């Protein structure tokens, strides 16, 4: 962190002042304390997290129509152990979040700016004791898939439910050997 003031923590941050100072947090939350630090997110976890959570927040400001705007950029990555909703086996999910927020002076300004906001950012209101970690947790929760699933898996019981071979179907080995002789022929013709 570039700017260090003892009373400022990621749990209680004077948001706009921190941004004015070009504040940066680049932090890691160890796996052992994630359940306490992010109880809403890790209540969904089926087993203790194995990997630490990484997050980075930085403040910057710019001028738009001679009005100074305050921005918060947020990146986070976390691993969650869930249950796959298709095969019901454990699923290790890697969550990635990359967001930016326009910081309004107060709640009233925030709702006004919200109406004009673009799709690529959200508006948050300034708070003298802003909880940055709660925002990280909120964004990771929003990044969760509605139905967590492996990319490829089968519902339980599918492997046993193989249809019996019909007698009029060609024997699989006969098909294989005819394919093999075709490729052999191809090889010969290439020689
Ligand atoms: Zn699965």
pLDDT tens-digit readout, 86-114: 999 999 999 999 999 999 999 998 988 88
* Distance from residue 126's CA to the centre of ligand 1 (Å): 42
Contacts 24+ apart (CB under 8 A), 44-47: 44/80, 44/82, 44/144, 45/80, 45/81, 45/82, 46/81, 46/82, 46/83, 46/90, 47/81, 47/90
* Distance from residue 157's CA to the centre of ligand 1 (Å): 12
Percent of the chain, pLDDT > 70? Answer: 79
* Distance from residue 82's CA to the centre of ligand 1 (Å): 10
Q: Rounded to two decimals, what is the model's pTM? A: 0.76
* Distance from residue 80's CA to the centre of ligand 1 (Å): 15
Q: Are 149 and 34 in contact (CB under 8 A)?
A: no
* Distance from residue 25's CA to the centre of ligand 1 (Å): 36
pLDDT tens figures, 122-158:
999 999 999 999 999 999 999 999 999 999 999 988 7
* Distance from residue 98's CA to the centre of ligand 1 (Å): 26
* Distance from residue 134's CA to the centre of ligand 1 (Å): 30
């Amino acid at each position: 962190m570039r700017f260090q003031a003892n009373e400022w923590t990621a749990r209680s941050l004077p948001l706009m002042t921190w941004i004015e100072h070009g504040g940066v947090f680049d932090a890691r939350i160890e796996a052992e304390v994630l359940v306490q630090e992010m109880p809403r997110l890790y209540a969904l976890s089926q087993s203790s997290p194995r990997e630490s959570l990484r997050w980075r927040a930085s403040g910057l400001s710019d001028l738009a129509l001679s009005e100074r705007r305050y921005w918060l950029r947020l990146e986070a990555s976390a691993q969650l152990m869930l249950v796959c909703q298709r095969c019901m086996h454990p699923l290790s999910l890697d969550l990635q979040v990359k967001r930016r927020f326009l910081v309004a002076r107060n709640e009233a300004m925030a709702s006004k700016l919200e109406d004009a906001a673009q799709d690529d950012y959200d508006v948050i209101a300034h708070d003298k004791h802003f909880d940055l970690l709660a925002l990280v947790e909120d964004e990771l929760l929003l990044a969760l898939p509605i139905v967590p699933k492996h990319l490829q898996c089968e519902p339980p019981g599918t492997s046993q439910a193989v249809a019996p071979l019909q007698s009029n179907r060609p024997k699989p080995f006969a098909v294989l050997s005819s394919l093999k002789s075709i490729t052999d022929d191809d090889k010969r013709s290439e020689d």
